Structure 1
């Protein structure tokens, strides 16, 4: 893939700044392609060509924090990064993913519900591969891929939003439940 043209790069930065500003002021509900285009000083067509739709724009807003999170669990310091025992890494990963999801819950909720399988691919695949590898090291007799799905399921943005916002479940209770699930796997 070639380098991005400088004008395209500037437009992307303007668009993402405008979108982040709108989300900060009005929440994700206020994020419309027309308003973002107007705030960024670009045509709506440019926005649609670049991002596809609102969920594509949401993913672009999520991207920077996502890259930092993935870097932390792939090459950062232990226990999240390499160097700690698999059980400690899994627990650290699940706690960090809980925090990461809560930090951008509305954007993730929009992105993950844009289509039937919108949650899967990209970041999910990276999380899944990471957990599959760690579970496989820890408990080789288990179906590590299915266990990884089970560990990730409670952190789906729609479920987490429902539990936290509609049911009043505190985030510490979510972490405790993930710990209990992990303890069951380790037993």
Structure 2
């Protein structure tokens, strides 16, 4: 059976090698600051210092903090999409659909939790915008394709929305921060949901 083709979030135009290295250094520095200190710590000056380069280079490359944070999200999403579209099984192709779906939902939980602060900020700014974004549409299409393969009799379109619903950043933030659930508990809950 041919593999379905899904769009990958906006492909970046080719870059010079030095520009690509600087972009990577800046994104890695921003990611470290975000993970260690939260989104408030991600300023253009702090990122430049953490990347060991001039602040002018960071401004020329990204313009402002919002665009830098969006680039950081896009970078993570591009890596995630490559993993589930062409990475090794069970997340990537060549695994049974039910195994791929489980691996995908576990990886999605990790992804959302890893970037919870920035995703929650984006969600708060435009709560319903996520459902028309290219990122959500790609995730939804992928889940629907796997569901059609695993359960041809089910309404894969509706089930895909329902399976993705628990991955809203505010809910995962509530479950981990307010309710004290661990990632292992969340993944066990995902497995129980898939077993229904």
What TM-score results when the alignment is normalised by the length of structure 1?
0.77
Q: How does 1:1-187 map to 2 (within 5 A)?
A: 16=27, 19-20=30-31, 22-32=33-43, 41-42=55-56, 50=62, 54=66, 56-120=67-131, 121-184=133-196
1:73/1:22 Cα in 2 relative to 1: closer, same or farther (>3 Å)? closer
1:107/1:128 Cα in 2 relative to 1: closer, same or farther (>3 Å)? same
Which has the higher relative contact order, 1 or 2, with Cα contacts under 8 A spaced 6 or more apart?
2
Give the CA deviation at 1:85: 1.3
1:30/1:81 Cα in 2 relative to 1: closer, same or farther (>3 Å)? same
Let me know the Cα RMSD of the aligned residues: 3.0
Structure 2: gaps of 5 or more residues: 1-11
Structure 1: gaps of 5 or more residues: none
CA distance in 1, matches of 2:49, 2:157: 44
Describe the SS at the equivalent of 2:103: helix
Contact residue 11 and residue 42 of structure 1 kept, 8 A: no
Give the CA deviation at 1:147: 0.6
Contact residue 59 and residue 111 of structure 1 kept, 8 A: no
Contact residue 58 and residue 111 of structure 1 kept, 8 A: no
What TM-score results when the alignment is normalised by the length of structure 2?
0.74
1:2/1:71 Cα in 2 relative to 1: closer, same or farther (>3 Å)? closer
1:52/1:112 Cα in 2 relative to 1: closer, same or farther (>3 Å)? farther
